[in-house]
Structure formats: structure tokens, C-alpha cells
């Protein structure tokens, strides 16, 4: 399926190096490690999200990782649109807000694909097909989550229960509910029901839809991020949001702040050989 709009990958490279210890550490978390191939997970993510229909990626990362991120992208031959430095960790909702506000300066209808930097995807073609469906839903003002087809009753992931099919978009559904990480019995129940998917933490929406939705739900967060971007500055290849403004913001995940509270959510189920490379 053709995607006639450029999608900006927004790669979240926060990570404090707590998982996969000891080779993953605070100053060298797992997205910088070559675990699966000759490339780091960050390089694999950026490569997977390059070429049509993607434009140059934006990376949101910790200030302390800025040179590592720049070096990994350079070594992979990928030029970033921007590398945005979080003054401190505030989870994914504010990180996505920074990216959306920066993108909206150029194009308020920019479509952004929010993706963690440390996941493995064995079937990238299936992912691309799902992105195509998600773009159609985003064009209708939807905030789209990708639901990973579960292959076992995992207790380490949150789940998304799909609802009704969305008119005119094959393969996109409303969201009945988000379920927290379940115990083993609940997870087995979800698998048996057949309409539950793992929440892989990958989302697609237009920048303006995200900001409008977040502003309705978390106005103080948007105000803080807007001020952080407006008072931020370029520093070599990096963009530095204003520290005081950003740190005044509450930390919250995009799942809690937005996806669980909006009626505009959608899920596109996909079997793409996804793995979050979370533990040994």
C-alpha cells in the first residue's frame, strides 16, 4: 500500500541502562549495544525507519548520551533531522510533546511515528504494511497504537483489547481498553479471548492531533513543553529545550496520559516479529 505522506520517525532513546546489566549501564544503555547484528539497536531502529516513506529521524535522548547518539547515527550513515536533548527524564508523554511541538513549527500536520530505540523487529515488511493502515487512521484524527500479536501469555507487557473495526480502514480498530501487565491467569484469558494484543509502545499520529489531545488532558504538561521548546536553543547538532521549563513538567507515559483517556485511540494489530529485548 502506498503512503503518500512523509512520516517523521521520532526515536525515543531515553533509557537509564537498568536492563541487560552488566553490559548495559547508565552511560551506555542497551540501545547502544550490538546485541543481534553488527549494528546497535539504535542503528537498527533508525535504518528500519529510513528510506521511503520516512523522512529524516528525530531522536529524543538524554543529554548525557548526545555524542553516543550522534556517533551511532553517523556510523550508520543516517543524518538526523534533529537530536533533542531532554534535560531530565520525564517519561514518554513529555518526550513526544517536545518532538510534536518542534515538528509543528514547520508543519502542523506532520505525521510522527513514535518508536523506542531498543526494540527488535524481525518482519519489517509487516511493520510497514501496518504503518500504511495507521496513516489512514491518523488522517482521520486518530491516535494509533500498534498491537503486537501475542505468541504466548506474557505477563511482562501491557495489553490492548481491540474494539470495532474502523470504517473504511482495513485492519484498524477502536480500542476497548488498555490492560496493565496481567498475572498469569489473566494473561491466559486474554490469549484465549483472541482480541488482546501486546502494547509495544509504538504509536503514530499527527503532531497537532497529539498536542490538541494532550492539551485537553494534561494542559500543564503541554504548557511546560511549549515553553521549553520556545525558550530552547540549538547547540551544534543538538536542540536543547529550556531546562527549567521542562523540569517543571510532570513525568508520565503516553499510555497513561493520553491513550487510556482519549476516545480517538485506534489499534492496528501486527505480527512483525517484535521483541523488546528486555532481559537475558
pLDDT at 3: 63
Return the residue matching grid coordinates 501486546.
198
CA neighbor of 7 nearest in space, from 104, 81, 113, 126: 113
pLDDT band at 52 (very low <50, low <70, confident <90, very high): confident
**What pLDDT, in 10s, does the model give residues 165-207?**
999 999 999 999 999 899 999 999 999 999 999 999 999 999 9
pTM for the structure as a whole? 0.91
The two beta strands, 238-240 and 82-86, are parallel
**What pLDDT, in 10s, does the model give residues 67-96?**
889 999 999 999 999 999 999 899 999 999
pLDDT band at 119 (very low <50, low <70, confident <90, very high): confident
Q: Decide if 24 contacts 17 (C-beta within 8 A).
A: yes
15 Cβ neighbours under 8 A, 6+ residues apart: 29, 30, 31, 62, 65, 117, 118
| C-beta neighbour count of 71 within 10 angstroms | 11
Rg of the chain (C-alpha set): 18
Sign of the torsion angle spanned by Cα atoms 12, 199, 266, 131: positive
Question: Phi and psi for 40 in degrees, rounded to 5?
Answer: -75, 165
pLDDT at 110 over 60: yes
| Strand boundaries in the chain, DSSP class E | 7-13, 58-62, 82-86, 111-116, 120-121, 143-148, 159-165, 173-179, 196-206, 233-235, 238-240, 265-270, 274-275
**What pLDDT, in 10s, does the model give residues 139-159?**
999 999 999 999 999 999 999
Amino acid at each position: 500500500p502506498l503512503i503518500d505522506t512523509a512520516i517523521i520517525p521520532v526515536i525515543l532513546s531515553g533509557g537509564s541502562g537498568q536492563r541487560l546489566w552488566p553490559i548495559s549501564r547508565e552511560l551506555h544503555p542497551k540501545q547502544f549495544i550490538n546485541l543481534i547484528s553488527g549494528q546497535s539497536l539504535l542503528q537498527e531502529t533508525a535504518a528500519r525507519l529510513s528510506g521511503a516513506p520516512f523522512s529524516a529521524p528525530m531522536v529524543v535522548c538524554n543529554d548525557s548520551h548526545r555524542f553516543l547518539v550522534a556517533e551511532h547515527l553517523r556510523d550508520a550513515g543516517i543524518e538526523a533531522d534533529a537530536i533533542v536533548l531532554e534535560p531530565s527524564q520525564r517519561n514518554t508523554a513529555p518526550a513526544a510533546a517536545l518532538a510534536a511541538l518542534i515538528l509543528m513549527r514547520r508543519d502542523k500536520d506532520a505525521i510522527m511515528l513514535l518508536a523506542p530505540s531498543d526494540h527488535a523487529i524481525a518482519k519489517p515488511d509487516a511493520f510497514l504494511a501496518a504503518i500504511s493502515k495507521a496513516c489512514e487512521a491518523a488522517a482521520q484524527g486518530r491516535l494509533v497504537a500498534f498491537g503486537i500479536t501475542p505468541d504466548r501469555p506474557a505477563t511482562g507487557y501491557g495489553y490492548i483489547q481491540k474494539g470495532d473495526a474502523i470504517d473504511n480502514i482495513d485492519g484498524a480498530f477502536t480500542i476497548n481498553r488498555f490492560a496493565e501487565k496481567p498475572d498469569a491467569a489473566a494473561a491466559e484469558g486474554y490469549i484465549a479471548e483472541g482480541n488482546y494484543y501486546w502494547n509495544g509502545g509504538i504509536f503514530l499520529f499527527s503532531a497537532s492531533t497529539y498536542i490538541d489531545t494532550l492539551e485537553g488532558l494534561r494542559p500543564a504538561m503541554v504548557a511546560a513543553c511549549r515553553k521549553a521548546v520556545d525558550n530552547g536553543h540549538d547547540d551544534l547538532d543538538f536542540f536543547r529545550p529550556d531546562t527549567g521549563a521542562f523540569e517543571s513538567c510532570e513525568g508520565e507515559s503516553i499510555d497513561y496520559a493520553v491513550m487510556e483517556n482519549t476516545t480517538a485511540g485506534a489499534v492496528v494489530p501486527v505480527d512483525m516479529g517484535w521483541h523488546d529485548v528486555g532481559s537475558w
